Amino acid sequence: MPDSARTETPAASPALRWPSDGLSKIPDWVYTSPEIYEREVERIFHGRTWNFVALEAEIPEPGCFKRSFVGATPVIVARDLKGAVHVFENRCAHRGAELCRPALGKATELVCPYHQWTYDLAGNLTAVPFRRGIKNEGGMPREFRLEDHGLLKLNVTTRHGVVFASFARDMESFEDYIGPDVLKDFDVVFPGRPLKILGYYRNTVPANWKMYHENLKDPYHATLLHAFLVCFGLMVAGNRSAMIVDASGRHGTLASARPKEGPKVDADSKAQMRAFSDALKLEDRRFLEFVREFDSEWSVTMQTIWPNLIVQRELNTLGVRQIVPRGPNEYLMNWIMFGYEGDSDEMTRHRLRQGNLMGPSGFLGIEDNEAMRFVQQGMLKSESDGSVIMLGGAEEGTSYKMITEAGIRSLYRHYREVMGL
């Protein structure tokens, strides 16, 4: 349902003018305006981006398919009978029905329930029932060609078992798209080893979808919001860490390294962190163990792959998160938690136990989701306006400081360019 029905978005409507303070101030309408959201769909989710749609391990065999999303647009990810992966819109070419309903499935073809137009696993229309009518009465006119009425196909790429799609036809390769600095840590999680799916979480957050990217480009919040990390020594402000940003500014890796000997918190940092307390102790220490299974200097990497993917490696708990925007004020998050084929039972259970950190009931996940909710609520009805993004001064790009908002500024440099703001 595009073009004509939507408000045309000329280069920059006068009401949406970026404040003169450049990247140190983000106006609220970036997060709340329906007009901005429409433009994001057009220029970002349906534009020149690679959007995460599936892990290959979710559709392991020929005929497997999955309902997914590019932006908010429903798509089907299917493996055809020869093993190739296709992505196409979940919208029948006849009357527009969202034809595929189950979250996951297996079939030799896809049949629309309304009039049973039938598509192969690449999205091609293969049959229209009674196409020639009954006893040669009715049916499709001769000039109707099946080839003209397939499902809208997206451009597809995969990297080590991770499937991405794009409405843009002439995309650069995924590797060029994310750049070498971010690709490096992506490949640590996805070295090409077969994955073992451990399960799904799903949650909404009543906040703008970009807030989630910003949260993971914001090393500042980690030791302030997340008392758990601090109290139980998982991360402290003094840990070695980095906010790695690709050349375009849109992708990032928030990384930190746990010192072998455990955390040391200097007195100055303790004073800054309200959360710090020496009194709390975990009973079950297995939770904090880090099995050093990765070829990486980092014990934690949280990657933001623009526009809709988070790759989580938090000690030994691994997952991807797909962001599905639902207008400016809400997004849906689909989590896929996984390990590797060949993990021992104990290793799988270790990953599951450590999973308590993340997700909508995770010790960290709860706090991030609540904080983002508070921010959106704060913006929706206030008289004052704008976010202050001044930590680290005007610095942009990769930074090894914790107390900086450089990654957020980098993202908005890119965003303003693409959005024409």
Partner 1 sequence: MSAPAADLRSLRLEIEEFNAEYAAVLDAGRVADWPAFFSEDAVYRITGRENWDAKLPVGLVYCEGIGMLRDRALAIAKTTMFAPRYLLHQISNTRVLSVDPASVVSAEANYALFETLVDERTTLQQVGRYHDRFIREDGRLRLKERHCVYDSLIIDTALIYPV
Nearest distance from residue 107's CB to partner 1, in Å?
14
Nearest distance from residue 301's CB to ligand FES, in Å?
23
The answer to whether 130 contacts ligand FES (rule: CB under 6 A) is no
- CB under 8 Å, gap of 24 or more: what pairs does 259-268 form? 262/233, 263/233, 263/234, 263/235, 263/236, 263/239, 264/236, 264/238, 265/230, 265/236, 265/237, 265/238, 266/238
> Which region, judged by CB under 8 A, interacts with partner 1, from 9-17, 39-47, 364-372, 395-403?
364-372
The answer to whether 368 contacts Fe ion (rule: CB under 5 A) is yes
CB nearer to ligand FES: pick between 105 and 233 = 105
Nearest distance from residue 160's CB to a second copy, in Å?
28
Convert 271-300 to b/e letters by CB count within 10 Å (16 or more is b): eebebbeeeeeeeeeebeebeeebebebbb
> Which region, judged by CB under 8 A, interacts with partner 1, from 150-158, 204-212, 236-244, 400-408?
204-212
216 binds, among a second copy, partner 1, ligand FES, none (CB under 5 to 8 A by kind): none
- Binding test (CB under 8 A) with partner 1, winner from 127, 374, 378, 394: 374
The answer to whether 55 contacts ligand FES (rule: CB under 6 A) is no
- Binding test (CB under 8 A) with a second copy, winner from 22, 60, 378, 420: 378
The mark string for 208-247 relative to a second copy (x by CB under 8 A, - otherwise) is: ------------xx--xx-----------xx---------
The answer to whether 314 contacts Fe ion (rule: CB under 5 A) is no
Give the closest residue to 270 by CA, choosing from 315, 223, 310.
223
Q: Is 78 left (phi over 0), alpha (psi -120 to 50) or beta?
A: beta
> Which region, judged by CB under 6 A, interacts with ligand FES, from 7-15, 113-121, 163-171, 206-214?
113-121
d(CA 32, CA 29): 5
The answer to whether 284 contacts partner 1 (rule: CB under 8 A) is yes
**Is 310 within 8 Å of 214 (Cβ atoms)?**
no
Q: Which residue is nearest to Fe ion (CB)?
A: 368
Q: Looking at residues 90 to 109 of the shown chain, list those that interact with ligand FES (rule: CB under 6 A).
A: 92, 94-95, 97, 99
27 binds, among a second copy, Fe ion, ligand FES, none (CB under 5 to 8 A by kind): a second copy
CB nearer to partner 1: pick between 110 and 178 = 110
d(CA 54, CA 193): 16
The answer to whether 137 contacts a second copy (rule: CB under 8 A) is yes
The distance from CA 390 to its chain's CA centroid, rounded to whole angstroms, is 26
The answer to whether 402 contacts a second copy (rule: CB under 8 A) is yes
The answer to whether 375 contacts a second copy (rule: CB under 8 A) is yes
- Binding test (CB under 8 A) with a second copy, winner from 121, 163, 242, 391: 391
- Binding test (CB under 8 A) with a second copy, winner from 9, 12, 25, 32: 32
The answer to whether 115 contacts ligand FES (rule: CB under 6 A) is yes
- Binding test (CB under 8 A) with a second copy, winner from 57, 231, 257, 273: 273
The answer to whether 290 contacts partner 1 (rule: CB under 8 A) is no
d(CA 342, CA 348): 10
**Is 337 within 8 Å of 199 (Cβ atoms)?**
yes
- Binding test (CB under 6 A) with ligand FES, winner from 112, 188, 189, 236: 112
- Binding test (CB under 8 A) with a second copy, winner from 399, 415, 418, 419: 399
CB nearer to a second copy: pick between 268 and 278 = 268
List contacts with ligand FES (CB under 6 A).
92, 94-95, 97, 99, 112, 114-117
List contacts with partner 1 (CB under 8 A).
67, 101-103, 113, 197-206, 225, 227-228, 231, 275, 280, 282-284, 287, 332, 337, 348-349, 352-353, 355-356, 359-361, 363, 365-367, 369-371, 373-374
